[in-house]
Structures are given as structure tokens and as C-alpha cells.
Structure 1
């Protein structure tokens, strides 16, 4: 998620609409069809062109090289019949376009709009739980092939992720820093090989799946990174595991059965899931500390004040969890 100050300044500025329209000119769009959808790590809009819907994703001060790697991965996955939201070339033949503004440099990517249904976990049938796991197993199986045909090295991604965590966590957050050291020590004991480590989605939650009948369509690959494949299972099922990792849970067993229909994973690798959940919590905690960069100011718009309060509450919850774990 982007810093709250960037989100506020962009969405509250009258110049933001002009910037979005200038970016869309690179693809062409129908006037008055542009609608804001959401903001997280980027700004997402839906628009129409020639009667068809598309998604515009605008990233403030993004990494162009990483965006191009994402585009390359999506193209490969689509060619291998993984259902993803494919990026669309601009009029200039580019997958990524840029624009400068008072807020910085913004990168834009346009995707085809995927129609379908999104579910909450309690709404899933037993068959859908199996299909959810199967879709992740198929994704990992295909990403292994992508690595065999691509020069991208993923082994340094985890090292870089841990280094970024180390630099972003304030020295005052002693419990969080102690947790980081414990996780680093545990990760150093894990084997890395071509069967258990590669490119993962990182956020294979139901929010990023659009169902077309039994077909699972996958969106939001912006956080994809080199990691252990089991971490993707943990991150995807974190709502299921909230507060208690129960490997005998029927929903988990159905998910795992679906995953194993496409991808091999050992019981030993599955047993590392609790540690990967701790890692995800720590990453989220560090991210929230960075995101909440505005004061509780009466001059802030009401939505900023409400969002800041919500995020601060999550920070407090994570701190409480670290205290309980430290006892």
C-alpha cells in the first residue's frame, strides 16, 4: 500500500483527473467512462474504449523494470493457459507508459477487464476450495517453466526482502526486530531448490481471484517475488489460519489436495506455514508503519482520518501480537 500522504494528495487534487486522462490518451478512451475503483499500492480505474471495459493501474514512482518483469510473466502465463488479466499495448507499442506531475513520476499499465464473481472464503463450496488450491499449484508449475526460459534470478529476492525489512523497522520496535532475527535464522535452515522455490504471486487471496464458473482468473501480480512456493500457500490462506494454524482443517485439506494435483509439496514444507505467516505479519507491520505518515489533523478529509484510524488500529494489534508471542 502506498503512503497515506500520497493517496490523500493525489485523490484530493483537481490535477489528478487531468493526469489520469493524459495517461489514458496513450491507449484511447471514451470520455466520461473513467471511474475510480480503489487505491492500495496503486490507483485503479475502470474505463471503456470502443464499447469494451479495461482497467488502468497507475503506480506512483514505481519501478519500471519490475513492471516490465510483471508484464513478461503475465504474457508467459497466458500463453500457457493460465487465466490472467493481460496487459494491453499502448498506441506507441509500449506496455508501460509514464507521466510526470507535481506528485512525481507515475507509471501506467492497462489490462483487459475480467468479468466474473468474487467470493468470501465462507461462501466457497468444497469443490471451489479444491479449485482454488489447484489454481495456485498450476500457477507455480507454470512459473517454474518461466524461470527455465527467463534470465530473471529469484534467489536474491528473499535476501533483499529481509534487508528491506531490517532497514525499515525502527530501532524502537525492539520486539519486531527480535522477531525478524528469529525468522531470518529459521529461513537460513530451509533448502532452496528448483522444486520448492521460484516466483510466487504473494497475495493469492480471494480478493485477487475472479471466478468464471469453475475457471479461476488471477489478477494483481504486482507483488510477485522469488520465494518458497509454500509461502504462497500460507499467504493465500492467512484468513483461514487467523489465530490458529490447524492442518486438519477440512478446508485446508481440500485446498492442499487441489494444489498437489498440479504441484508437489512435502509435509515438511507444509509444516513451515506458521513461520511464513509470522513473516507475512511482520512485512505487513513494517508496511503499515511506513504507510501511516500523516498526523491526526482536523484539516484532513474525513476518509483520510477514518483510514488512518483503521490502519493505526492494525498497527496496535500487531504490536499486541508480538508482545503475546514474546511472553
Structure 2
């Protein structure tokens, strides 16, 4: 069986599992699932005959534990209840639990799943006029950082740490090894290695003190935002964890780091952030480092998720396009 055929078969199995999951929730039996997004997890739009909609997330096997998922939901729910930002509202199953197990005879084991109320809004595109959205996002990020510092986390709270080693290190990085990027060769690897080494040195000097490192969303890219009128909503907390606060300034330009409008968009983000929190010169100075770290992390992500359509569409071109960014970063900060 080809890799492509195996991928298609897996999607069919997951879709069948999503349709079976309707019985676990208080939604009409005739509701149907349609694949909405495939990334770390598979997200489905569940639509009832009367037009009501929900979002069902089926978790990737082995990526997040049940306790880690419960931790994610606890933070996102408190952000919503506290009025910090609009986040998706999770719904309990018929048994009262927010996290359900979806079993299927062709899956190796049951998958964790969460159903959310459907959030209206439009995912912004890099070709849109993003100045206002980026400023709003900077303000939201700062409010989330304030909340994270003050929120009394449950004793059982557990989430990934997105430090240097878990992002770009050699020992079990969360999204794979950057040196296995699609189209990577020896010459490219040397440039990437110099960049990774420089990032490591700068982040070691920057440090991980409480004022710089804490609980963040960590994946505030355009695909995880919904613009609904004047409101910017934040979705998909699946990668939330402990990292540098300024990493949240880099993730909004994910996959578009090379675009000419990026410096101005980051300035818009900083304007919004300063409405809530001061931005120290040391923090501002390292934003390019976090943009570069994120770009190389995504080179690894593309390679480790190459079976999905979006990573496949980026392929070796994303690795090649990162070289100029690496060289520019080395010139500016070596």
C-alpha cells in the first residue's frame, strides 16, 4: 500500500469515528461530520439538520495525555470566563466528562476527543490588511500573559515545555529534528546549524526568569485566529505550554516569516502589547530570535507531518526559503 493510500484510509477511519462520536454527546443523531482541519489532531465540523454546528477535535495518538488535555481546557476556559479573550467553549459528553474516548474497530485504541461550540469568524490571511488584527492580537497576548502569571493553576496541571532543547535540540524535540527537513543537504545543514547555535547562545544569555518564561498559547498563527467583526478570537490551545512570552510575538507570522510586511506586522503586535504591558528593550531585541527559532521549528514540523496536505504543499521550498532568513539573522546578530 502506498503512503498516500494509507493516509486516505486513515482519514476515512477517523471520519467514521467522528460520525460515531455523535452518540457520545447531546446532539441530534442525524448530525454529520466533515473534516475541517488536519494538523496535530483531526478537527471536524459537526452539523445538525437544523443548522446548528459544533467542532469535534479527535486527538492524535500519543501526542497529549488526558491530563495534559484537561490542563489545556482548564486554562482556555478560565481565559474565557475571566473575559481575557474569547476561546472555544468545550461541551461535556452525556456522561458529564469534557474528554471523551472514541473507539473504532480499525483504530489501535480509543482516541481522546473534545467537542466545542462552533465559533463564528474568519481566519485572517497574510494578504489581508492585518494591522488592526495584529495590534489586537498583541493586546490579547499581553492579557493572556498577565492571566498566566496570576492564575492559580490546578495541582494536576501539566503541559509541554517549549524550551530550546524541546524545539531545536537533538533529544526528542516535539516536532522532529530540523536537520531532517525536506530537501535538507549538507550545505544547507551547515547554515542551519550555525543559526541554531547562535539562537542557543542568545537564549542562554536572555534567560528563563519568571518575567520572561511562563505559560503561553505558543501557536498564535493566523490559522488559530478568528476575526468576528471587531473581535479577535483565539482557538486551538493544543500546543499551549511553558515557553518564553516573546515566542507569542513570533508565532503570528508562522509560515510567512519571509514576507516583506512581517516587520511592520510585528510592530503592530508590539503596539498592542504595550497597551497592557511594558515591553523591555531586552524582550524586544530577542523577537527576531524567536521568529528564527519558530521558522526552523516549522522546517522540522513540515518534515514530520509531510503526509498531510498543507505540509506537503510547502515541502522542500519551505526549507530552501529559510536559508535567506538564516543568513540574514547571522549577519545581524553574530
So what's the TM-score if we normalise by structure 2? 0.78
The CA RMSD over aligned residues, in Å, is: 3.4
Task: Name the structure 1 match of 2:97.
Answer: 94
Task: Name the structure 2 match of 1:43.
Answer: 42
Kindly tell me the number of residue pairs found equivalent between the two proteins.
Answer: 310
Partner SS, residue 34 of structure 1: strand
Tell me, yes or no, if the aligned pair for 1:98 and 1:107 is still in contact at 8 Å. yes
Partner SS, residue 47 of structure 1: strand
Structure 1's 238 and 245: CA in aligned 2 closer, same or farther, altered over 3 A? farther
Quote the Cα distance in structure 1 between the aligned partners of 2:108 and 2:117: 26
Task: Name the structure 1 match of 2:75.
Answer: 73
Quote the Cα distance in structure 1 between the aligned partners of 2:6 and 2:248: 29
More divergent stretch after superposition (167-176 vs 91-100): 167-176
Quote the Cα distance in structure 2 between the aligned partners of 1:281 and 1:270: 18
Q: How does 1:301-320 map to 2 (within 5 A)?
A: 308=312, 310-318=314-322
Quote the Cα distance in structure 1 between the aligned partners of 2:132 and 2:37: 30
Q: Which runs of 5+ in 2 are unaligned?
A: none
Shift of residue 33 of structure 1? 3.1
Task: Name the structure 2 match of 1:216.
Answer: 232
Quote the Cα distance in structure 2 between the aligned partners of 1:277 and 1:244: 14
Tell me, yes or no, if the aligned pair for 1:77 and 1:143 is still in contact at 8 Å. no
Shift of residue 155 of structure 1? 9.5
More divergent stretch after superposition (259-268 vs 168-177): 168-177
The one of 19, 30, 39 equivalent to 2:17 is: 19
Task: Name the structure 2 match of 1:284.
Answer: 298
Partner SS, residue 54 of structure 2: strand
Q: Deviations over 1:200-229 (max 9, x none)?
A: 112212322222322221111111121111
Task: Name the structure 1 match of 2:52.
Answer: 52
Shift of residue 57 of structure 1? 0.8
Quote the Cα distance in structure 1 between the aligned partners of 2:171 and 2:301: 12
Q: How does 1:208-247 map to 2 (within 5 A)?
A: 208-238=224-254, 241-242=257-258
Q: Deviations over 1:157-190 (max 9, x none)?
A: 4155147654443588643444333322221111
Q: Deviations over 1:113-159 (max 9, x none)?
A: 1112333244336544432321222222222222x444447795415
Quote the Cα distance in structure 2 between the aligned partners of 1:129 and 1:321: 22
Q: Which runs of 5+ in 1 are unaligned?
A: 294-302
Quote the Cα distance in structure 1 between the aligned partners of 2:267 and 2:145: 18
Quote the Cα distance in structure 2 between the aligned partners of 1:271 and 1:200: 19
Tell me, yes or no, if the aligned pair for 2:99 and 2:113 is still in contact at 8 Å. yes
Quote the Cα distance in structure 1 between the aligned partners of 2:322 and 2:257: 16
Q: How does 1:156-175 map to 2 (within 5 A)?
A: 157-158=162-163, 161-162=166-167, 165-167=170-172, 168-169=176-177, 174-175=189-190
Task: Name the structure 2 match of 1:34.
Answer: 33
Tell me, yes or no, if the aligned pair for 2:80 and 2:87 is still in contact at 8 Å. yes
Quote the Cα distance in structure 1 between the aligned partners of 2:51 and 2:262: 48
Tell me, yes or no, if the aligned pair for 2:168 and 2:297 is still in contact at 8 Å. no
Task: Name the structure 1 match of 2:213.
Answer: 197
So what's the TM-score if we normalise by structure 1? 0.80
Quote the Cα distance in structure 2 between the aligned partners of 1:137 and 1:207: 20
Quote the Cα distance in structure 2 between the aligned partners of 1:48 and 1:85: 16
Shift of residue 54 of structure 1? 0.7
Structure 1's 178 and 150: CA in aligned 2 closer, same or farther, altered over 3 A? farther
Q: How does 1:264-303 map to 2 (within 5 A)?
A: 264-292=278-306
